């Protein structure tokens, strides 16, 4: 009686090893791709207002310097404010829960709300109670 393992040829073993190495390479490449995608998504979340290319202060400086007309400034400002509000909605905690006072999300939300109030003509010190 012959044992089944003894009858396996060296060609079969070599083919099996090549197949396993191929699967291992595919797994490693998949992990690298997933890590890069995760890093890119984190960078996108960390800079929500940067997607428009300009901050409100950049737009104000360009308007004061005469690089933007009043109409261009208003259109650009509306786009930046809309993007900031959309980012704030995405970053907002679930209804009924408040973010921790000094969490990055809470700070970001307060900053976005303050910038939106400034653009709407409200004095942020009056609305927040600070003097």
Residues 31 and 68 in one domain: no
Q: Which residue has the higher pLDDT, 5 or 35?
A: 35
Distance CA 55, CA 60 (A): 9
Mean pLDDT of the chain: 78
Range of the domain at 28: 7-46
Count of H-run helices and E-run strands, the chain: 5, 0
Residues 88 and 104 in one domain: yes
CA nearest to 112, candidates 73, 75, 82: 82
Which pLDDT tens digit goes with each residue over 92-109?
666 667 656 677 777 888
pLDDT of residue 131 exceeding 70, the answer is: no
Rounded to a whole number of angstroms, the distance between the first and last alpha carbons of the chain is 95
Q: What is the total count of domains within the chain? A: 2
Burial label for 113, CB within 10 Å (0-12, 13-18, 19+), is: middle
Task: Determine contact, residues 109/89, Cβ cutoff 8 Å.
Answer: no
């Amino acid at each position: 009686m012959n044992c089944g393992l003894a009858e396996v040829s060296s060609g079969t073993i070599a083919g099996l090893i090549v197949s396993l190495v191929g699967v291992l390479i595919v797994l490693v490449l998949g992990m690298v791709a997933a890590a890069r995608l995760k890093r890119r998504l984190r960078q996108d979340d960390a800079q929500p207002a940067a997607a428009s290319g300009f901050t409100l202060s950049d737009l104000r400086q360009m308007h004061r310097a005469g690089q933007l007309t009043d109409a261009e400034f208003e259109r650009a400002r509306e786009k930046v404010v809309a993007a900031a509000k959309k980012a704030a909605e995405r970053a907002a905690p679930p209804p009924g829960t408040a973010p921790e006072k000094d969490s990055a999300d809470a700070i970001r939300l307060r900053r976005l709300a303050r910038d939106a109030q400034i653009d709407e003509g409200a004095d942020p010190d009056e609305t927040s109670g600070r003097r």
